[in-house]
Amino acid sequence: MFSSILLPFYLQDFRNYGPGLAGMIMMAYPVAMLIASPLAGSAADKMDKEIVTFVGISGIVLSQLGYLLINPHSTPWLVVVILLIQGMSMGIFQSPNNALIMETVDRKYLGIAGSVNSLARNMAFVLGTSLATLILFTAMSNQLGYKVTTYLHNQPDVFLHGFHVAFYFSTFLVLVTWVLGLFRLLGRKK
């Protein structure tokens, strides 16, 4: 998710919050995930894992749309609510999704499958961070007509434009995942 790299710019540079307050706001995501993950794992053991993962990805779509609502006058509570939704949704999604992946693998390949799953998650984190900053600074550069490589304190509107462009892209990617999940659910044999 792009929020882990873009929100600190928004909170500390755009809103001028100190590192302590910005960190407290950002803590909403891991705290929500910490609470939701074991509950979702337990629910997935009793329910249809694909439905649980779909509920999770649906919440992630909502959180990405929420980032598009952020503006110069947004309260810190809006950001906290969006992060809580994203954290809960990721927690709901990840545990049953990992179980679904591992269930499709022959027992003798579980170690390899777990490693590949972990590698894919780490690669997505690294590529997501790179892509988020690339989109942010490219959008800022395109709006100004020259290369931007850092936050511009005298032009916060340019940052907010790049922030929204990055989250439009993130929302698109999550929507593609949501649509694929919906097709998978609807296409299952009864």
Mean pLDDT of 75-101: 94
pLDDT at 190 over 80: no
pLDDT digits (tens, 9 = 90+) for 102-126: 888 888 888 998 899 889 889 988 9
| Total domains, the chain | 1
Provide the residue range defining the domain that includes 83.
3-186
CATH number for the domain spanning 137: value is 1.20.1250.20
DSSP 141-190: HHHHTS---S--TT-HHHHHHHHHHHHHHHHHHHHHHHHHHHHHHHTS--
Helix (H) or strand (E) segment spanning residue 73: none
- Arithmetic mean of pLDDT, 6-10: 96
Q: Is the pLDDT of residue 35 over 70?
A: yes
Place of tokens 């044999």: 189
Q: pTM of this prediction?
A: 0.91
